[in-house]
Amino acid sequence: MILNHFDLDITNFGARETISKRSLADLKCAMCNTLIEFIYKLTWLFEIFLKGYYQMKHILVTGGAGFIGSHFVRYMLEKYPDYAINMLDKLTYAGNLSNLSDVQECYGPLERYHFFQGDICDPTSVKEAMQGCEYVLNFAAESHVDRSLEHPGHFIMTDVYGTYVLLEQARKEHIERFVQISTDEVYGEILSGNAGEDANVIPRSPYSASKAGGEFIAQAYFVTYGLPVIITRGSNNFGPFQHPRSLFRFS
């Protein structure tokens, strides 16, 4: 691979006359071996770099300025130094960049965090944010059941059509993994026991129906196009950066 022939002349290094020719030869041999080993390792590291064995992995996180999304962005950047994140958020009532102010200060200058303001329903914004990414996590959604009763159309557009826009671009970009963040609300009312993954999906509000719709289009892209899709159905979460509407009911 490298250095089929190598020679090092140290006869002019100012060696003392007391050093025998044999000692000088041994020294020359030792220095040659050390230098060859160093150059070999250096070349090996350079080849690794050129072949992309240490390439930064890029994740597109939509809705990353929201409650759960901001925690995910911070966790990934802190725990995995070989990952970079593109964060796409429309910054509606639930999205707040102050949730990630420390992330911007810490990881922005390192080129590991990039913010894109845009709507997942806009193909141009999605294409720009997804460029160069290997993975997509879709946290972006209209949320809260009571809001869905007031503006059901907003929920259908974002949670269903927006998910379609993301999936379509992910298919074009040959994304390695698409994670659709859904909700246990899709099961409807469970009066006793619990619901498993194979339980019937019976949404009872425009919010849960729109999230179920996002799941179905994601499942369709998995079956039809072979897009690697994972769907999660989380229950209620509580913690820092949570929007007050998740804790208190507004009339």
Joined together, the tokens standing for residue 157 give: 């557009």
187 is catalytic: no
Between CA 9 and CA 128 the distance in angstroms is: 56
Q: What is the pTM of this model?
A: 0.74
**How confident is the chain (251 residues) per 10-residue block, as mean pLDDT?**
37 45 58 60 52 74 92 93 96 86 90 96 98 96 82 92 98 97 88 81 90 97 98 77 54 43
184 classed as catalytic: yes
Catalytic residue among 119, 207, 215, 221: 207
Known active-site residue 26: no
Under 8 Å CB-to-CB from 48, ≥6 apart: which residues? 54
pLDDT, one tens digit per residue, over 109-133 is 888 999 999 999 999 999 999 999 9
Decide: 65 and 89 in contact? Cβ < 8 Å.
yes
Task: Give residue-wise pLDDT tens across range 1-24.
Answer: 333 333 334 344 444 444 455 565
How many other CB atoms sit within 10 Å of the CB of residue 106?
15
237 near 67, Cβ under 8 Å?
Answer: yes
Of 142, 159, 185, 215, catalytic? 185
